[in-house]
């Protein structure tokens, strides 16, 4: 034999037998380091050990035949006993580790963990319930701390979610989109459960020279760091549009702003200046972004040229292109949350977008925008992995 | 997803029999009826189900707002009756489901033939001139108890591989599923139950109704059962010898006999 230490009190010595005799079954029952209760199936106490009496301060004759286990519990725990403990015990023959408070004779409470076993007679009828109770003061205060910590964590999570949603809502115009003579609408859906702020944004606003600006973009990354850049992007565009009649010029300034302030971030965007008079003229610049789709229901065109991503390289290639928007035509801008929506290895893709947009030509802009977003979400079984932003612009026929 | 799947509806008995729907109360699931429902199979079409959020119902269908009042649970009952195209329904509700049955009946009276209320209480908290048996503080304590059994509870619902040495027929597979409920859902159900007040609805019940009252029931005291009996016109009141709140478990034979006697007299 190796590795076993010599026992201090070897078996067979007088001291060993003294300890063994002291711990006869009755002594073990009465003074066990836990409370023992035997009850009838209805809870009436029929036997109780000394440890339980010592803990609770009751005399044996106050309990045996007179009180039920549930009578000794605090009221809330008594409901728990009736609705959970007793039914479970009856159905599965046992319950374990149930946390309840025993009300002591002094009125104070003793937190315990209770385990019960139901013993049935030969005919299968319930006969006696054996319950063992462990003093759980320390454990219960520890568990209460855990519960409190969990509640704090949940509250913090709720606050973070609310903050993310508030922040996110500033990336979209707070009012319904409006360009006189046109039908315009946006749709936005956050990634996942919406607990994290994404990088998509859009905006529609008057330029101050009789035209309107429509911008839609996507900043790399997620969370608060990305949100800072998204806010910058939206505000730079808002400010620059007023004195720059060229979308390419505005996006050029945004490029510089992002590159200087946040060298590790970049963004893509489409900016359209809409001059809506007798004719509707769109001036389009795309920067590293999916080109807007224009359709009359039959023909599908892409607007603009593929410009460079903003904030990434030193040089930019950004170009303005002019198009006329005829009566009955619709233009749709969207982020990669739509185009790159994935199901397994398959992407939602440009072809699907064009088919959907063409199919929706002539329908209200809100239907087209929401319809495209919903199709992209459905494609991912209802759980978008990236933000989805869509703006649709229609010239009624 | 269909309602039958959502509510884990289990249909038994005679397909051409009068439908008898058994509804479980707060704290458990359709297993509460395991000793009672089989007795009705020879002459009835028996229907068991779990409320959404309880037992083996479809958890993804859980709507916190809908199930924050008893009306949401009553919707479950009506929708199950609609899905199965039941008429002349005998509704047997235990505990809070006795009142859920009243609400379901008021929602769609034509569908119901009779109500059996096992341990009913239209209001658990004392009010002026009314003794429900509990104070608001008691109910807060229950919510606390559910909270502190969060950890213990997850153990209680974990698979109990030891099974039942003395009742091997129950097996380990079943013990695993008894009364499974998410603690947050439990607390919402507890609030919906114990903060409800449906006293005013009782007088509107106009189908034969049986009130089954246990002796010595902490949750629904005899005086409350008698109140329900007085408020529902023409209702029958039967005092059981069974004690506690779950005669369907502790005294199934007596419970079955009382329901059968009531139904035979319809």
How far is residue A196 CA from its own chain's centroid? 8
Counting one residue from chain A and one from chain B, the pairs whose CB atoms sit within 8 A come to: 127
Cβ of A82 within 8 Å of Cβ of B164? The answer is no
- Structure-derived torsion over alpha carbons of residues A359, A361, A367, A373, reported in degrees to the nearest 10: 60
pLDDT at position A385: 87
Cβ–Cβ below 8 Å for A87 and B32: yes
Mean pLDDT of A152-165: 87
| A120 CB within 8 Å of a chain B CB | yes
CB atoms A120 and B140 under 8 Å = no
What DSSP string runs through B78-112? HHHHHHTT--SEEEEEETHHHHHHHHHHHHSGGGE
**Phi and psi torsions of A194, nearest 5°:** 80, 10
Instruction: Name the pLDDT band for A333 (thresholds 50, 70, 90).
Output: very high
With CB atoms and an 8 Å threshold, state whether A80 touches B178.
no
Q: What is the pTM of this model?
A: 0.69
Question: In A, which residues are within 8 Å of B175 by CB distance?
Answer: 91-92
**What dotted CATH number matches A14-140?**
3.30.450.20
Q: Which residues contact B222 (CB under 8 A, 6 or more apart)?
A: B213, B215, B239
Q: Catalytic residues of B, which ones?
A: 95, 217, 245
Secondary structure (3-state) at A130: strand
Alpha-carbon torsion (B61, B63, B64, B67), positive or negative: negative
- The residues spanned by each domain of chain B are 3-264
Residues of chain B neighbouring A77 (CB-CB closer than 8 A): 141-142, 145
Kindly state the tokens that stand for A273.
């200046």
ipTM for the predicted complex comes to 0.85
Cα separation, A285 vs A240, whole angstroms: 14
pLDDT digits (tens, 9 = 90+) for A94-125: 888 888 999 999 999 999 999 999 999 999 89
Task: For residue A53, count CB atoms less than 10 angstroms from its CB and return exposed for 0-12, middle for 13-18, buried for 19 or more.
Answer: middle
Low-confidence ranges of chain B (pLDDT < 50): 151-176
Measured between beta carbons, the chain A residues lying within 8 angstroms of B214 are none
Provide, as residue numbers in chain B, all residues whose Cβ is less than 8 Å from the Cβ of A40: none
pLDDT at B157: 43
Q: In terms of Cα–Cα distance, which of A356, A320, A321, A324 is closest to A341?
A: A356
Domain A161-394 in the same topology as domain A14-140? no
Which residues sit opposite B166 in a β-bridge?
none
CB atoms within 10 A of CB A279: 10
Q: What average pLDDT does this structure show over A145-156?
A: 88
Q: A76 vs B218: CB contact, 8 Å cut-off?
A: no
Q: Is A87 within 8 Å of B28 when comparing Cβ atoms?
A: yes
pLDDT digits (tens, 9 = 90+) for A290-328: 999 999 999 999 999 999 999 998 889 999 999 999 999
Query: Mean pLDDT for chain A?
Result: 91
Which CATH code, of 3.30.43.10, 3.40.190.10, 3.40.50.1980, 3.60.40.10, is assigned to A161-394? 3.60.40.10
What confidence tens digit (pLDDT) does each residue in A50-95 have? 999 999 999 999 999 999 999 999 988 999 899 888 998 988 888 8
Among the partner-chain residues B31, B152, B218, the one whose CB lies closest to the CB of A70 is B218
Coil, strand, or helix at residue A350?
helix
Q: Which CATH architecture has domain B3-264?
A: 3-Layer(aba) Sandwich (3.40)
A257 close to A265: Cβ distance less than 8 angstroms? no
In DSSP notation, B23-70 reads E--TT--GGGGTTTGGGGTTTEEEEE---TTBTTS-GGG--TTGGGSH
B31 at A interface, C-beta within 8 A: yes
Instruction: Tell me the three state secondary structure of residue A247.
Output: helix
Per-domain residue ranges for chain A?
A: 14-140, 161-394
pLDDT digits (tens, 9 = 90+) for A250-271: 999 999 999 999 999 999 999 9
Identify the closest residue of chain B to A117 by CA–CA distance.
B164
């Amino acid at each position: 034999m190796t590795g076993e230490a010599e026992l201090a009190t070897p078996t067979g010595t007088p001291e060993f037998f003294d300890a063994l005799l002291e711990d006869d079954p009755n002594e073990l029952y009465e003074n066990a380091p836990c409370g023992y209760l035997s009850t009838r199936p209805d809870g009436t106490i029929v036997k109780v050990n000394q440890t339980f009496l010592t803990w609770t301060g009751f005399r044996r004759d106050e309990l045996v035949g007179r009180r039920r286990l549930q009578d000794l519990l605090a009221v809330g725990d008594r409901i728990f006993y009736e609705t959970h403990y007793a039914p479970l015990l009856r159905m599965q023959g046992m319950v374990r580790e149930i946390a309840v408070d025993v009300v002591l004779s002094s009125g104070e409470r003793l937190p315990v963990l209770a385990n019960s076993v139901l013993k049935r007679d030969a005919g299968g009828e319930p006969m006696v319930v054996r319950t063992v109770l462990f003093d759980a003061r320390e454990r219960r205060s520890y568990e209460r701390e855990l519960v409190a910590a969990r509640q704090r964590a949940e509250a913090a999570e709720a606050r973070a979610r609310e903050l993310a949603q508030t922040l996110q809502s500033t990336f979209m115009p707070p009012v319904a989109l409006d360009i006189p003579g046109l039908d315009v609408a946006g749709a936005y859906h956050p990634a996942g459960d919406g607990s994290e702020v994404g990088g998509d944004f859009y905006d529609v606003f008057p330029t101050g020279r009789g035209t309107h600006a429509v911008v839609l973009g996507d900043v790399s990354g997620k969370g608060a760091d990305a949100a800072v850049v998204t806010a910058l992007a939206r505000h730079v565009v808002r400010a620059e549009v007023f004195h720059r009649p060229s979308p390419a010029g505005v996006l050029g300034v945004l490029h510089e702003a992002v590159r200087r302030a946040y060298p590790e971030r970049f963004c893509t965007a489409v900016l359209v200046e809409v001059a809506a008079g007798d004719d509707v003229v769109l001036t389009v610049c795309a920067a590293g972004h999916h080109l807007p789709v224009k359709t009359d229901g039959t023909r599908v065109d892409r607007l603009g040229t593929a410009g460079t991503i903003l904030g990434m390289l030193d040089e930019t290639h950004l170009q303005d292109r002019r198009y006329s928007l005829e009566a009955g035509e619709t233009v749709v801008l969207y982020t990669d949350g739509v185009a790159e929506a994935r199901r397994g290895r398959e992407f939602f893709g440009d072809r699907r977008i064009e088919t959907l947009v063409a199919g929706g030509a002539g329908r209200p802009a809100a239907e087209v925008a929401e319809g495209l977003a919903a199709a992209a979400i459905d494609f991912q079984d209802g759980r978008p992995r990236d933000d989805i932003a869509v703006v649709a612009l229609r010239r009624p026929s | 997803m269909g309602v039958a799947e959502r509510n884990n509806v289990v249909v038994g008995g005679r397909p051409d029999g009068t439908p008898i729907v058994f509804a479980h109360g707060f704290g458990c699931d359709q297993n509460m009826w395991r000793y009672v429902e089989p007795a009705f199979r020879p002459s009835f079409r028996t229907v068991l189900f779990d409320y959404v959020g309880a037992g083996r119902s479809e958890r993804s269908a859980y709507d916190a707002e809908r199930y924050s009042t008893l009306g949401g649970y009553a919707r479950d009952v009506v929708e199950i009756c609609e899905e199965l195209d039941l008429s002349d329904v005998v509704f047997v509700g235990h505990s809070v489901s006795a009142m859920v049955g009243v609400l379901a009946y008021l929602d769609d009276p034509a569908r119901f033939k009779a109500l059996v209320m096992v341990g009913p209480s239209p209001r658990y908290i004392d009010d002026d001139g009314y003794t429900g048996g509990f104070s608001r503080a008691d109910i807060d304590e229950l919510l606390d108890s559910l909270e502190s059994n969060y950890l213990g509870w997850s153990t209680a619902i974990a698979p109990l591989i030891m099974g039942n040495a003395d009742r091997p027929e129950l097996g380990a597979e079943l013990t695993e599923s008894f009364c499974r409920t998410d603690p947050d859902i439990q607390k919402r159900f507890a609030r919906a139950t114990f903060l409800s007040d449906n006293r005013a609805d009782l007088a509107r019940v106009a189908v034969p109704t049986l009130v089954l009252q246990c002796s010595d029931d902490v949750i629904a005291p005899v005086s409350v059962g008698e109140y329900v009996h007085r408020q529902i016109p023409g209702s029958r009141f039967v005092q059981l010898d069974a004690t506690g709140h779950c005669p369907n478990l502790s005294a199934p034979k007596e419970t079955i006999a009382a329901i059968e006697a009531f139904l035979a007299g319809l």
